[in-house]
Chain A
């Protein structure tokens, strides 16, 4: 067993175990903790897949930002001592049956595809050798070190495709979706601040 395989099994086990623990735990704070474990281990899976920038963004944005936001939400919406929000055993049993069936469906459909043949069929005619791409100073995405190519792709340029020998086309990047995402973040910032602003508390019996 190589080191890559060993790391994959460790990260995959922690990711899946954390996700299942999120489902099975009833305490919200412990759910947030297991979600941190699961998302952090899946960042490790991203590193194993040579997506170093995506793994870093996962750690920074998800684990560092979204989870802190969720824990703040848990703190600000603390439920009273008498309002237990437990799932009923019958619903839990039904959910377990549905989960096993859905997992069996997804797993069987993943395992029934011969991925090697599919990848070989889609790669035909588009082989880019390492030597061609390394001549221009850009790695292939499969080799990691993706920060520079990702930044160029977000600016609308694709040197990882266009600088390959024999390619005379000009590929398009992701400048417009990038701008839409940034405006979307601004809209979300204003909208969330408007929705969560301090208001006079209205009791339910006055509604």
Chain B
């Protein structure tokens, strides 16, 4: 397999994540879209690590992405729980108190 087929898989994951972030009204669905986008970026990093001179550096960056995605998911879920405690819903359309 060549590099471009892996890049196309990453592109499909990225687009699915962006659409998921844009269309879901559930806050946790938006989080899942972020995870999809990060995973698509990870596939690109590892594919470039395998096929180009990037080598081990690409795999190191992808490990950092995995760790930071886990941390981001933890903080965002804590925010979602706090929002649910205050509003009894996690519909992101209801979070409009800062729009002035």
The residues of A with any CB-CB pair to B shorter than 8 Å are 4-5, 8, 12, 15-16, 19-20, 22-23, 28, 31-32, 35, 38-39, 42, 45-46, 48-51, 53-54, 57-58, 61-62, 65-66, 69-70, 72-74, 76-77, 79-80, 83, 85-87, 91-92, 95-96, 98-99, 102-103, 106-107, 110-111, 113, 115-116, 118-119, 122-123, 126, 140-142, 146, 149-150, 153-154, 158, 160, 174, 177, 181, 184-185, 188-189, 191-196, 199, 201-204, 207
* Residue of A45, A96, A149, A174 most packed against chain B (CB within 10 A): A45
CA distance A102 to B16 in the complex (A): 10
Tell whether, in the assembled complex, residue A8 and residue B1 are in contact, meaning their CB atoms are under 8 Å apart: yes
Chain B count of residues within 8 A CB distance of the other chain? 73
Interface SS of A by simple majority: helix
**B73 nearest CB neighbor, chain A only:** A66
Residues of chain A within 8 A of B50, CB atoms compared? 49-51, 141-142
29 CB contacts below 8 A, A to B, read A23-B19, A23-B20, A28-B28, A31-B29, A35-B32, A45-B9, A45-B46, A51-B46, A57-B63, A61-B66, A62-B35, A73-B77, A77-B27, A77-B90, A83-B91, A95-B23, A99-B16, A111-B8, A119-B51, A123-B53, A140-B55, A141-B49, A141-B56, A160-B56, A174-B60, A177-B64, A181-B64, A184-B71, A196-B82
Contact B18 A102 (CB under 8 A): yes
Report which residue of A61, A83, A192, A199 has the largest number of chain B beta carbons within 10 angstroms of its beta carbon: A192
